[in-house]
């Protein structure tokens, strides 16, 4: 199993003449910061259209190039140099009879700066199709599409949504923060510009005796020399939780005020902490309130573990190794064990068999 979290904020192309539409931007190559919009191009003094790709740099959010293909036998790429009044008409994509079809859509016109522009906007409400295409080393491909209904009609200005693909919790966070990332099992983010930091500490498989109060006591012990400013009970996803405010002095940048939430859900404990300058205390309070009110749980059904697992480098291959799995060599097997009854065993060997034959042989030998 694997996962993909689809952020329904997508690219919106527009010009200086009030023309705009949502567009699909394709990466020019895997991992590139350059993305292309497919369409057709027409000079202002011509009635002739040619297929073209409008390329944007996602790092700078600016137009980079306009490319077409030469009409001679070479078919080599050729760069177009836009002039004021030139037209770029995007191709609108449709999904019909298992295929992606395209037809000319909205037209955009280059301004005196010879540019078009894009921004990130919430996808409009409605039914959309979402698809994956996978290709193996043999060149075989498989495609799968699903229909999804998007409802972005009720949004909180200034906030974005984080959905955790591992544990299924979801909350709103300020769009002026970086996207939350895992550092081992700690979910972390911070302001792009500023001193506010945010983290979620997760405690799985808790004893039934653990409560929000005991999580709070443990957190305060870890914090050390801080002053409790206030504490009260709140509801997070309909469950009793504690909200604790604290203050301390940090020599390098002065007085800090933080607020953390402690709660337990289905045997997993959460400590959600927002820490910022005391001068930003009102903002910190407002952010924590939004996080508490928006916190919910989704059935993601993945079963993967949070954090980036370390990589074990073995003879001929590498594999991600969970921290709870110990490694040892057992005969010809690379063996990873977690307790007496849970293990993963791997090995490589030369073979002339097809994939199914190899799998059957490995299962027979492992048993």
**Is pLDDT at 193 greater than 60 in this prediction?**
yes
**Same domain for 355 and 279:** no
Q: Is residue 213 located within the same domain as residue 121?
A: no
| Same structural domain, 170 and 133 | no
Question: Could you tell me if 237 and 215 are in contact, meaning their C-beta atoms sit under 8 angstroms apart?
Answer: no
Of the candidates 103, 203, 167, 206, which has an alpha carbon nearest to the alpha carbon of residue 298?
Answer: 167
Average pLDDT over residues 207-229: 92
Domain boundary among 150, 176, 207: 150
In a domain, 306, yes or no: no
Residue 2 lies in a domain: no
- For residue 302, is it within any domain? no
What integer pLDDT is reported at residue 12 of this predicted model?
Answer: 96
For 332-365, the pLDDT digits (tens) are: 888 898 877 888 988 887 777 677 777 777 777 7
User: By three-state DSSP, how is residue 212 classified?
Assistant: helix
pLDDT at 1 over 60: no
Do 206 and 277 reside in the same domain of the chain? yes
Say if residue 205 is in the same domain as residue 261.
yes
Average pLDDT, the chain: 88
- pLDDT of the residue at 142: 86
Exposure string of 340-364, with b = 16+ CB inside 10 Å and e = fewer, is eeeeeeebeeeeeeeeeeeeeebee
Tell me which of 241 and 362 has the higher pLDDT.
241
The predicted pLDDT at position 3 comes to 67
How far is Cα 312 from Cα 323, in angstroms, rounded to an integer?
11
Cα 352 to Cα 141: distance, rounded to the nearest angstrom: 23
Range name among 3-7, 291-295, 327-331 with the lowest pLDDT average:
3-7
10 Å CB burial of residue 54 (0-12, 13-18, 19+) is buried
Q: Which tokens belong to 35?
A: 């993305």
pLDDT in tens, 120-139: 988 888 888 788 888 888 88
pLDDT, one tens digit per residue, over 73-126 is 666 788 999 999 999 999 998 877 767 789 999 999 999 999 999 999 888 888
Q: Which of 21-30, 144-153, 263-272 has the lowest mean pLDDT?
A: 144-153
- Indicate the pLDDT class of residue 306, thresholds 50, 70 and 90: low
What residue numbers bound the domain in which 225 lies? 159-297
Same domain, 233 and 362: no
Under DSSP, is residue 280 helix (H, G, I), strand (E, B) or coil? helix
Give the residue-averaged pLDDT of 37-43: 96
Domain membership flag for residue 305:
no
């Amino acid at each position: 199993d694997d996962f993909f979290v689809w952020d329904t904020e997508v690219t919106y192309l527009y010009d200086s003449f009030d023309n705009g539409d949502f567009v699909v931007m394709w990466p020019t190559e895997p991992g590139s910061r350059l993305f292309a919009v497919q369409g057709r191009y027409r000079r202002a003094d011509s009635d002739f259209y040619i297929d073209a790709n409008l390329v944007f740099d996602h790092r700078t959010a600016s137009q980079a190039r306009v490319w077409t293909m030469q009409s001679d036998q070479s078919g080599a790429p050729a760069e177009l140099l836009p002039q004021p009044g030139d037209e770029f008409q995007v191709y609108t994509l449709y999904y019909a009879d298992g295929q992606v079809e395209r037809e000319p859509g909205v037209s955009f016109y280059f301004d005196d700066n010879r540019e078009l522009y894009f921004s990130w906007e919430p996808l409009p409400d409605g039914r959309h199709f979402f698809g994956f295409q996978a290709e193996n080393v043999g060149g075989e491909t498989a495609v799968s599409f699903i229909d999804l209904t998007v409802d972005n009609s009720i949004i909180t200005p200034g906030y974005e949504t984080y959905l955790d693909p591992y544990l299924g919790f979801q909350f709103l966070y300020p769009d002026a923060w970086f996207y939350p990332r895992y550092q081992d099992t700690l979910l972390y983010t911070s302001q792009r510009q500023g001193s506010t930091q945010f983290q979620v500490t997760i405690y799985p498989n808790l004893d039934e005796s653990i409560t929000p109060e005991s999580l709070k006591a443990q957190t305060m012990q870890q914090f050390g020399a801080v002053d409790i400013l206030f504490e009260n009970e709140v509801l997070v996803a309909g469950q009793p939780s504690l909200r604790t405010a604290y203050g301390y002095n940090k020599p390098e940048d002065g007085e800090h005020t933080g607020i953390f939430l402690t709660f337990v859900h289905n045997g997993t404990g959460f400590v959600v902490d927002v820490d910022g300058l005391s001068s930003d205390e009102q903002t910190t309070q407002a952010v924590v309130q939004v996080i508490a009110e928006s916190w919910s749980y989704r059935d993601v059904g993945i079963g993967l573990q949070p954090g980036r697992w370390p990589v074990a480098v073995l003879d001929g291959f590498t594999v991600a190794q969970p921290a709870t799995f110990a490694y040892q060599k057992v005969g010809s097997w690379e063996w990873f064990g977690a307790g007496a009854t849970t293990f993963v065993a791997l090995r490589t060997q030369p073979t002339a068999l097809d994939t199914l034959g190899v799998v059957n042989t490995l299962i027979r030998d492992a048993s």
